[in-house]
Structure 1
Amino acid sequence: MRGIARTFEVPGAPPLQILTDVNLDVAAGEHVAVVGRSGTGKSTLLNLIGLIDQPTSGTYTVERQDTRRLGEARRARLRGRTFSFVFQSFNLIAGLSTTENVAAPLLYDTGSAFWTRTRRAEELLAAVGLEEKIGAPIGNLSGGEQQRVAIARALARRPRVILADEPTGALDVDTGALVMELLERQCHETGAALIVITHDLAVAGRAHTQYRLDHGVLTPITVHHERTGGLDEFTEEINAVPEEAAS
């Protein structure tokens, strides 16, 4: 991303500037965290990265393709084969079983991916520690188990990038740590990049690269971890931006 801005038109009011001059590079296999308070544009940024939305200005290149030059059909194909999403609210389909939820993205594929979707879903459920929940109703699962199903579903199409929006926000600390370990392990095994949007510095501290999004501006930071009196404490510092980069 280079010089990305996103502005929304508001009837009877000046345009609302959500993102301003965002620059971001993510490599294959990299784990990136973006922290920020509610309302700072984190979800807007995630939607732009995942090709759900388009920037007002700036350039965005995915796998050497300038996304500005893509029609909607080509954008949809690129989005489908490159990105998967993990949401805080899980977004699972209540009327389907665990296996059917994980297999759902493969319904849009063709060939062997379509015909072997149930077997792939069962393998992924086993990979996230839910072998005993294969075929179970979603409503019978705990929050942590539902989040694991969501992760398995995100991996179904073997994405190049996993976008996780507050993946631990609805979980307790221990379950959240297990979910992050699971995401990291799966990305390590597949070589996928992991981009996590979070307000939690403990979650951000697990990433290779960290940023803070504030008032639409994305700034590199470093999250420090200290253990004091048996408690984990996390602080951040803003990384100095090289003069040539700033210019």
Structure 2
Amino acid sequence: MQMPIKSNHIPPEGDCTNLFDRLSKYISRFDEKWVNVIEPAKKEDIEKLKNLTQINQYNYHFPIEYEIYLNYMGQDDKGLLKTQLPGYASISEIIDSYEGIHEEQPDTLSDKYVHFFQKELFDGQLSFDFTQTDHPQIVVTNEDSQFVSYFADNFEKLLFQCAFSKYERLNYDKCIMLTGLPNMLKEAIKKHNAEDVFGIIDKFSNTYDFQKAWFSDRTHYIGFKDGSSFYIKVRNNALCGFIAGDLDNQIDNISETLLAELHVSKNN
């Protein structure tokens, strides 16, 4: 029988030199085949995408984390990036998207937002926000970039958020899915006299000795300790996520407390 993975399996913070090693080590604990079935982007496709986005004309560069992603899994990441949003991340599909823009709506090409992910219903994209050129945030944009909203701090954090949300629950005996509508969260914030939902989660984490993962950000809160982990995403005033744990670590009591504190519902 396989021994349970302890909290030291959580991917550590690092830099670009070991990004893929950290990511693949985490995923391989749950899916040993993943590292052998992902497909890199072709070099010529990477150059083609740069030309289509016109990124070089504006003296921008793809974040190095995205370049690493492309070089290891840019053609097929086996569903990693679409964990949070249904859509398409393959470089060939992003190239098709940009070719369509050049043919039909060239005036909508943005000099500040470059998308790398197309939502499934073609009602928006995940894009790099080059209004902050040092380390671009990830934002949701519509086709002409008139609507822009924050999604994640940067591409590295997004990768680990996706990996965690896809695989972490497989480590435990039990997983409870969470959903919270805006009115539920409003009641929770009022009850706790908190500034926002994450203030409530901070208090819960301190009570139960959860550690906040480094790849948390303004919309994602990831907590972990031996025998239990949770993932919560808050966007558009709504909440989704899960808390998972081993049965001998009081996961039922802990999850019921979290549900009550946030005024949210089980979604099992």
TM-score by length of 2: 0.28
TM-score by length of 1: 0.30
Higher RCO, 1 or 2 (CA under 8 Å, sep at least 6)? 1
| Higher fraction of helix | 2
